[in-house]
Amino acid sequence: MYSGDYRISLDDRGRMRIPSKLREKLGKDFVMSAGTDGCAFLMNESDFETLIGPITRSAKLSEHEKMNMLRKFYANVYTMTEDNQGRFVLPAKLKAYMKASKGLVFVGMLDRIEVWAEEIYDERFCTSVEDINNVVDMLGI
């Protein structure tokens, strides 16, 4: 399970390294894609295939709207390759989608990692005791 939040900065070439606490479970082969609400998803290939593979394989060529949605989705999926120091470049298209500049926040979300522009994450998810109480109430925990 992925959990917690971890902050990193992109280097001058737009490269980043996955925080070590998240890196181990992710494995060697992983993908990054546009996520929901302006974040990016980072998942190992196996989990990604489990999530989207059945939807893709069940789509009929005659289901034009579904095929177009799959095209839009897959156009924003990247298989990541790390260099010898464990860094990879944040794709420009995802960087623009996320509205990221320098700081990023990696958030563990059980079976995936979300990557947020630091400013957006802080604005939307800065938590206080009251916020946690509201979360617990909303989720019915």
Q: What is the pLDDT of residues 50-109, one digit of tens each?
A: 999 999 999 999 999 999 999 999 999 999 999 999 999 999 999 999 999 999 999 999
Q: Which residue has the higher pLDDT, 131 or 107?
A: 107
Residue 27 confidence (pLDDT): 86
CB 15 within 8 A of CB 87: yes
H or E element: which one contains 44? strand 40-44
Residue 128 confidence (pLDDT): 67
Arithmetic mean of pLDDT over the chain: 93
| Residue 133 bridge partners (DSSP) | none
Residue 129 confidence (pLDDT): 66
Residue 130 confidence (pLDDT): 72
Residue 112 confidence (pLDDT): 95
Domains of the chain from N-terminus onward:
5-139 (3.40.1550.20)
Tell me the average pLDDT across 12-16: 93
Kindly list the distances between the CA atom of residue 57 and the CA atoms of 49, 64, 70, in Å, as whole numbers in the listed order.
11, 14, 11
Q: Which residue has the higher pLDDT, 33 or 20?
A: 33
Share of the chain above pLDDT 70, in %: 98
Residue 99 confidence (pLDDT): 97
